[in-house]
Structure formats: structure tokens, C-alpha cells
Amino acid sequence: MSESPLAGHIDTIERAYEYLLAYAAQGRQDDAGTEARITLEQLHAALGAIGGLAQAAFADSPAQWGVADYLTAVQRDAQTARGAVVLVLSREHIGSLLVDNLNASVHLRAVLTDVFLLEQALKT
């Protein structure tokens, strides 16, 4: 059984964050010879898709529960975090300190908690 597109993007976001945590701990001045830029590009793509995929996955949720409101917040969180990722990608050299600050960003952390909740909700 193959995983859903939403589950695949959630996995990409989680794996990217884990990689970026390890990268931040390395004390690097730049990203030469690493997978940091590729990982950030994958994260950027997943963040761009997560909102629409979440809305599609939960389209059958009863309106009275307000699920749509939460999914709107997920979309907004992903869009804001995506902007932070673009800022990092725009730099010629991506050092550990820059990535550490991205990891600490409330915007990226909001998306992580969003996807953790979505992931569990998909399982029930």
C-alpha cells in the first residue's frame, strides 16, 4: 500500500527538519559538499503543497467542527515558513548558524506541530 501524497510531504518536512538540526550542530560556515541546499529545496516544495493536500484529505470533515479553520491556519503557517526557507536559500553560503536560526523560527516550529497533528489525525 502506497502512502498518500499528504503523508509523503509530511515525511519530507519531518526528515528535512531532522537533517537541518544535525546540520546546525556541525558548525559549518557554508554548505559546500553537503545536502543542505537540496534538503531546503525539498522542504520548500513540501511546504508549498501541504496546505492544499491537507484540505483535500480532510474535505469530508463536518463543517460544524471548524476543521476548515485549522486547515487555513496550516496553509498560512506553511506559507510563512516557506518564506523563511526561501530567505535561507537566497544566501550564497548557508552556514550552521543560519540554519540554527531557521530551526528555531516559530514559523517552522508551527508547521512541525501542524504536521504532527495532521499525521495523527490521518491515522484515526
pLDDT tens digits, one per residue of 79-114: 999 999 999 999 999 999 999 999 999 999 999 999
Query: Given this model, what pLDDT does residue 2 score?
Result: 59
Phi-psi region at 4: left, alpha or beta (left = phi > 0; alpha = psi -120 to 50): beta
Do residues 20 and 36 lie in contact, with contact meaning Cβ atoms separated by under 8 Å?
Answer: yes
Q: What pTM does this model have?
A: 0.93
pLDDT tens digits, one per residue of 26-73: 999 999 999 999 999 999 999 999 999 999 999 888 777 789 899 999
Rounded Cα–Cα distance for residues 63 and 106 (Å): 29
Give the number of other Cβ atoms within 10 Å of residue 54's Cβ.
Answer: 25
